[in-house]
Amino acid sequence: MAVGEYKPGLEGIPATQSNISFIDGQQGLLEYRGIRIEELCRYSNFLETAYLLIFGELPTAKQFAAFVEDVNYRRRIKYRIRDMIKCFPESGQPMDALQSCIAALGMFYPLADLHDASFIYDATARLIAKMPTLVATFHLMRQGNDPVAPRDDLSYAANFLYMLNEKEPDPLAAHVFDVCLTLHAEHTVNASTFCALVTASTLTDPYTVLTSAIGTLSGPLHGGANEEVMRMLAEIGTIENVVPYLERKIKNKEKIMGFGHRIYKVKDPRANILQELAIKLFDRFGHDPYFDLAIELENQAAKYLAEKGIFPNVDFYSGLVYRKLGIPTDLFTPIFAIARTAGWLAHWKEQLADNRLFRPIQVYTGRHGVRYKPIGER
């Protein structure tokens, strides 16, 4: 077999065949199973979208009711997992805590038959159900508080905000959060999904698949970018500082966080939806001066970056929305992981249906025939 051209970061190289989601980076189009993200955000909800992604079709009313019940039923976590979280350092990174919890969870639900549809269904419902409980439990326990038990009468999004803040959220806040989860649920073969595919291809269990994906999502070039956006806005501080900040960054060839995307060469459609959601939240709960900085930064950055196809991505406005919902900055990426669990599991299931172990080749750039030198001669 001829060795193809090496592309750093596998840019432009197809790594899999998939019918889960589609991006047109020139048009700013994102579809899940053929349905535009704008439509899903308007008419669907996170659990229904998760079902669509994982099982391929929108559920019937009966299937959806059963799925919601199956997820709700599994929201609680075992006391041993809670005790484990109690031992984590309170300064620990929430993504590390989440990754450890999901790895540990796998010990309670050992791998059965990967071709058994009921094993796949149970693992799927369980992982979707427990992710928010784990994130909220770690957050409360690191503050020295008891965790708040999930409430079956609340929607998926409302229940998470309830567990986090120990009070029932305003319906608008719950709706906005649900749309955020829908928006982040899937995005073709990005770094964490690719990592999930590679791990899945070894035929390991779904908890290990998710553990790998969570680790990959935690980096600042992937899921961590919205946290970096909030730090950047804090550093800019005032409208007058926007242009000097931008000029300094561009001159030093440094990245503006929340801008740019390997696939989108126009503004990320999810950024438009989030921008609208942010405005709705501010109308209801009060303005955030960081939003003015973000708008000014977007306008000014266009003068420097638009010609290179660099525009705001999903992370640019999501942090502002989460901040208004009272979510601490270091939980932004774990929330991304909660949502993306749907996409990771959809790809896990798709990989299993037609599995081949990932084993790419490398372009060797090292030496040959080097003689071993005894330690005393080095």
* Catalytic site positions: 261, 315
Question: Contacts with ligand COA: how many residues (CB under 6 A)?
Answer: 17
Rg (CA), the chain: 22
Considering only residues 251 through 270, tell me which ones interact with ligand COA, judged by CB under 6 A: 253, 255-262
Least Cα distance to 225 among 266, 271, 288 occurs for 271
Least distance in angstroms from the C-beta of 351 to ligand COA: 23
Residue with Cβ nearer ligand COA (169 or 260): 260
Token digits for 96?
């590390």
Least distance in angstroms from the C-beta of 262 to ligand COA: 4
Residue with Cβ nearer ligand COA (126 or 323): 323
- State the first-to-last Cα distance of the chain, in angstroms, to the nearest integer: 40
Binding residue for ligand COA, selected from 47, 225, 278, 346, defined by CB under 6 A: 225
Q: How many residues does the chain have?
A: 378
* Stretch binding ligand COA (CB under 6 A), from 82-90, 119-127, 248-256, 344-352: 248-256
DSSP at 26? T
Least distance in angstroms from the C-beta of 134 to ligand COA: 24
Residue with Cβ nearer ligand COA (184 or 349): 184
Say how far apart CA 4 and CA 322 lie, in whole Å: 44
Least distance in angstroms from the C-beta of 138 to ligand COA: 24
Q: Identity (one letter) of the amino acid at 216?
A: T
Token digits for 33?
């199973």
Residue with Cβ nearer ligand COA (151 or 255): 255
Least distance in angstroms from the C-beta of 253 to ligand COA: 6
CA atoms within 13 A on the CB side of 60: 2
The CA-atom distances, in angstroms, between 237 and each of 102, 286, 297, 316, 378 are 37, 19, 12, 16, 54
Least distance in angstroms from the C-beta of 99 to ligand COA: 19
Contact yes or no for 49/342 (Cβ under 8 A): yes
Residue with Cβ nearer ligand COA (162 or 259): 259
Say how far apart CA 85 and CA 105 lie, in whole Å: 12
3-state secondary structure at position 66: helix
Least distance in angstroms from the C-beta of 254 to ligand COA: 7
Considering only residues 185 through 224, tell me which ones interact with ligand COA, judged by CB under 6 A: 221
Considering only residues 292 through 351, tell me which ones interact with ligand COA, judged by CB under 6 A: 305, 308, 310, 313-315
Question: Which residue carries 């998939």 as its tokens?
Answer: 18
Residues 6+ apart with CB under 8 A from 183: 37, 41, 270, 273, 274, 314, 318, 339
Contact yes or no for 165/178 (Cβ under 8 A): no
The CB-nearest residue to ligand COA is 260
Token digits for 168?
């029932």
**Phi (first) and psi of residue 149, to 5 degrees:** -70, 140
Say how far apart CA 356 and CA 259 lie, in whole Å: 35
Residue with Cβ nearer ligand COA (125 or 294): 294
Least Cα distance to 84 among 137, 38, 155 occurs for 137
Residue with Cβ nearer ligand COA (205 or 227): 227
Residues at the site binding ligand COA, with contacts judged by CB under 6 A = 221, 225, 253, 255-262, 305, 308, 310, 313-315
